Amino acid sequence: MTVRIAVTGAAGRMGRILIEAVSLNDDCELTAAIERPESSLLGADAGELAGLGKNGVAIVGDVASVLEDFDVLIDFTVPAATLANAKACGAAGKGMVIGTTGFNQEQKIELEAAIAPIAICQASNFSTGVNLCFKLLDMAAKVLGDDVDVEIVEAHHRHKIDAPSGTALSMGHVVADALGRDLEKVAVYGREGQTGARERDTIGFATVRGGDVVGDHTVMFCAEGERVEITHKASSRMSFGRGAVRAAAWVSAQSAGRYDMQDVLGLK
């Protein structure tokens, strides 16, 4: 059965890619597209907006008005909008795929409560390659253990509004969990001035912002005499789009619960 998909943030960088990715997936069909209520694009054709030609789906200004029209909502917007959408989908029993990053602690707790009744897949990065890297990082951290210093460097385009990236933080969590450390306690976000010598237990994060970089992540395991680096480079947002649509099709067949891309790819 075809899965009916709604895309919110439809005019955004990821929104347009998601509309195209849905059109490329034989199991899914775009049946709703949403933007901000104040958007000048309300009423525009979603297919045209994504550069695909007309698909007959007009952009609307809120999720509530199209709740009957979709099975799964894909949401790559901003935390406040995703929270409001999660409350609407939670109440209506609609599944969600959440790609938005940058939630604060309070928003994370609110989100958890809103999505309790439904199936959702949330991931800081929907690309297959990055999710494979999570698996490799777990293995590397377990083999290299406490003999190495771990540093994470990420680079993104100049428009990205949160740092470090959600993917870099997820990579930090994978390594910290494998080493039995609490990332909240050992993370060091940037260094400046007289920082003193490095403490072995810390996990350092460095952020680069510029141009049109889609997303680069490198985790360095630095020992005396050698260094292992695990790097992922995204060259197109379609890597996230394809993964998110695959996740939406998967979510439509799941019972209520919180899932991630590792579940979708069977990597757990």
Nearest-CB residue to ligand NAP? 12
8 Cβ neighbours under 8 A, 6+ residues apart: 15, 33, 34, 35, 63, 73, 74, 75, 76, 77, 81, 85
How far, in Å, CA of 125 to CA of 112, rounded? 19
Helix (H) or strand (E) holding 258: strand 257-259
Residues 26-55 that bind ligand NAP (CB under 6 A): 34-36, 39
At 132, the amino acid letter reads: L
Residue 5 C-beta: closest distance to ligand NAP, Å: 15
Task: Pick the closest to residue 131 from 26, 50, 242, 255 (CA basis).
Answer: 242
C-alpha 132, offset from chain centre: 15
> Which range in 24-32, 43-51, 98-106, 219-227 contacts ligand NAP by CB under 6 A?
98-106
Closer to ligand NAP by CB, 117 or 129: give it. 129
What one-character DSSP code corresponds to residue 199? P
> Which range in 10-18, 46-54, 104-112, 172-180 contacts ligand NAP by CB under 6 A?
10-18
> Which range in 20-28, 72-80, 199-207, 219-227 contacts ligand NAP by CB under 6 A?
72-80
Q: Which of 31, 77, 218, 252 binds ligand NAP (CB under 6 A)?
A: 77
Helix (H) or strand (E) holding 155: strand 149-156
Is residue 16 annotated as involved in ligand binding?
A: no
Is residue 157 annotated as involved in ligand binding?
A: yes
Our finding on whether 103 is near ligand NAP (CB under 6 A) is no
Q: Which of 125, 170, 218, 252 binds ligand NAP (CB under 6 A)?
A: 125
Under 8 Å between Cβ of 141 and 175:
yes
Is residue 14 annotated as involved in ligand binding?
A: yes
Under 8 Å between Cβ of 217 and 137:
no
State the residues that interact with ligand NAP by CB under 6 A. Answer: 8-9, 11-15, 34-36, 39, 76-78, 81, 99-102, 123-126, 240
Residue numbers annotated as active site = 156, 160
Q: Which residues are annotated as a binding site?
A: 9-14, 35-36, 99-101, 123-126, 157, 166-167
